[in-house]
Amino acid sequence: MKYWLVLIRMGVLVLLLTIAFQTPVFAAQKHSVKQGETLFGIAKRYGVPVASIKEANRLQSDRLRLNQTLIIPKGNVKTAKKTAVPPAQQGRAAKAKKATASAPVQTKKTIT
């Protein structure tokens, strides 16, 4: 009888420790990386800091693989706005956005 009580207590302890350390993962979403996506773009899309995504997925670099499944933890929108796009690229991104928004789209016309 004591043996079963010890096993039950150990099971409960393991369960509690798992929940305590993995709470951000349980409250997270999953994202499958598609061609052309970057870690910064994904972070901006979900409103989480890049560092949070890297930490949740134990990534050492910013490189992603096609069809890689990422865990996206719940984020803080205020923090994400500061960290999703590096400051050096914020000016370039705004200029590129303006240029693409105002440029007309040209279509190829074939003459038959």
- Encode pLDDT of 50-104 as tens digits: 999 999 999 999 999 999 999 998 865 444 444 445 555 555 555 555 554 444 5
Cite the DSSP H helix spans in the chain.
Answer: 2-26, 39-46, 50-56, 77-83, 87-102
Mean pLDDT of all residues belonging to the chain:
74
Residue pair 24/73 in contact by the 8 Å Cβ criterion: yes
Beta bridge partners of 70: 31
Residue 101, amino acid: A
Give this prediction's pTM: 0.47
Residue-level pLDDT at 2? 80
Residue-level pLDDT at 28? 72
Please determine, for residue 39, whether its predicted confidence score (pLDDT) is greater than 70: yes
How distant is the alpha carbon of residue 79 from its chain centre? 14
Residue pair 68/32 in contact by the 8 Å Cβ criterion: yes
> How many CA within 13 A on the CB side of residue 33?
20
Extract the tokens encoding 12. 């409960």
Residues 6+ apart with CB under 8 A from 30: 69, 70, 71, 72
